Structure 1
Amino acid sequence: MARIERKQIGEFCWSELCSSDWGAGKSFYTQLFSWQSVDQPIGEDCFYTMLQKEEDDVAAMYQMMSEQKEAQVPSHWLGYIAVDNVDELAERAKALGAEIIAGPHDVPEAGRMVLLHEPGGANFALWQAGGHVGTKRELEAGTPYWYELASQDSAKSEEFYCKLLGWQATHQAMENMDYVIFSINGKPVAGMLQMTAEWQGVPPHWMLYFAVQDCDESAEKAATLGGQVCVPPTDIPDVGRFAVITDPQGAVFSVMASTMDSIDP
């Protein structure tokens, strides 16, 4: 068991799903990852659902608003990065070319956040922890493992995140592409790749990878639960085996059986 008390500043600390069908989505993920769910009322017939592993929060989800549905916003996962001052970082992000979508604002008894659209085209959030520090477990099956940015302008995105968060970037040749590893004090915290012509029609995004012990088994289970395996289980030399999955409501995520880290059940 790898329990987290608080994520390092500059690391992804939380993931939440905005789903077009909250009930069906909850059923899919709780079965896929053997999660428990705790519904917290946030309005009339509206809930913020904590997704838990053995009573520890690992992610969350909520029902997409009707206005988003009408605007044809797809179901999606959103990643939060831990910071020590949301307001200061929001102003810095704006100066670096980001657009503020929402916030900064307080989440009562939990923390303070801002939702941003970065220059490379992807959305992400910053989180200043109060009572809620974020994901409470790591390096276990069914917990967030890796975050990967697919950018329309990787050079612009690299400059943005390094200046905003103090990330260091190293470039690696991988599978006929230039893959960027973002690190803090030598610890890898995220990756990035440049979107090419093959990505036509796919918006820039941060991809969330969940740790699993058996990639093939997880992909097969997702398919039996109504998900679609977009990229079948594939080996990445010296990294692990991954698959890309679209849930029944249209949100995309990945699963990874790592060969770099020991993943507990």
Structure 2
Amino acid sequence: MSFQGLPCWFELSVADLDAAQAFYGPILGWNWTSAGMEGLDYRLARAGEDMVAGGLPLDVCPPGTPPNWMIYISVENCDATAQLCADLGGKVWKEPTDIPGTGRFAILGDPQGAVIGIMQLEPMDPPSPSGAWDQRTPGHGTWLDLTCPAPIAGLEFYRKLFGWRRNMQFPAGRAGTYFVFAHEGTRIGGAMGLGESDCTPPPHWLPYFSVPALRRALEQVTQLGGAVLRGPIEVPGTAFTATVKDPQGAIFALVARNR
């Protein structure tokens, strides 16, 4: 299996990392530690032995950046992928930059405005399905959603950038059609339109994290000061999902086999 185009990291940017640890730890079973980076309070979240996510102070992000989750995709060549993004009409928000001992990363914007990260990891530390991305184990990233004005055009952009392929589609109410895409034949996410509303969000990516049982996780979300924005929703024959917001405003989704 090629790691090119496989999700490999999830990064939270909020103002209060201590509060974030207290929120995400019980819900996702994460244990947090400091990354030990000089001059930057970067945190690492583990599910069991796997490192699954990072935490970054919001004040190091560009002014006006809201609390958010950033999805990173593994690429073989960070510089070439960033250049390809620009050639395809996208934007390079953060030029390729080295992370000592880890690899090289960049932050990209697609032609419709959704932002996503890319990561070229060093050869001795390749991304792994048992790392941040694991569709079978609670506490890991398990699905991606793209919401944008033109999802077919969006997925064509990402096909050229990462090699993702449209896999199936089904009706999605006001959002129109939900288009599922796959990495080397394995379904990893979907894309849909923005819908028709007076308060439609900007184009964006949404990460899903798995939990053992959705109802219990949603109870924890509200008890810990977060909010349930949408769901629970049953994915026929597959799972139950819900979109939620943490107490600081970062939005993500939860998914479970058991309601």
Write out aligned runs for 1:129-208 (5 A): 129-130=121-122, 132-134=125-127, 136=131, 138=134, 139-176=136-173, 177-198=176-197, 200-208=199-207
Which residue of structure 2 lines up, in the alignment, with residue 240 of structure 1?
Answer: 239
Percentage of matched positions with identical amino acids: 29
Q: 1:54 to 1:98 in 2, by over 3 A?
A: same
Q: 1:7 to 1:125 in 2, by over 3 A?
A: farther
CA distance in 2, matches of 1:194, 1:122: 12
**2:23 is the alignment partner of 1:25:** no
CA apart distance, 1:198: 3.0
> Which residue, 42, 48, 55 being the options, matches 1:48?
42
CA apart distance, 1:171: 4.0
86-95 or 178-187: which moved more? 178-187
> Which residue, 98, 102, 127 being the options, matches 1:106?
98
CA apart distance, 1:233: 1.5
CA distance in 2, matches of 1:54, 1:165: 29
SS of the residue 2:197 aligns to: helix
> Which residue, 7, 11, 21 being the options, matches 2:6?
11
Cα RMSD (Å): 2.0
> Which residue, 70, 76, 79 being the options, matches 1:84?
76
Which residue of structure 2 lines up, in the alignment, with residue 120 of structure 1?
Answer: 112
Structure 2 counterpart of 1:13, which letter? C
What does the per-residue CA deviation read over 1:126-171, in whole Å, with 9 as the maximum and x for residues that have no partner? 1111155457152211111101111122132122111112221134
SS of the residue 2:37 aligns to: strand
Residues 11 and 81, structure 1, Cα contact 8 Å, conserved in 2: yes
CA apart distance, 1:83: 0.8
**2:56 is the alignment partner of 1:62:** yes
SS of the residue 1:57 aligns to: strand
CA apart distance, 1:190: 2.0
CA apart distance, 1:120: 2.1
The size of the alignment, in residue pairs, is 251
TM-score under structure 1 normalisation?
A: 0.88
SS of the residue 2:41 aligns to: strand
Residues 180 and 191, structure 1, Cα contact 8 Å, conserved in 2: yes
CA apart distance, 1:258: 3.1
**Runs of 5+ in structure 2 lacking a partner?**
none
Structure 2 counterpart of 1:211, which letter? S
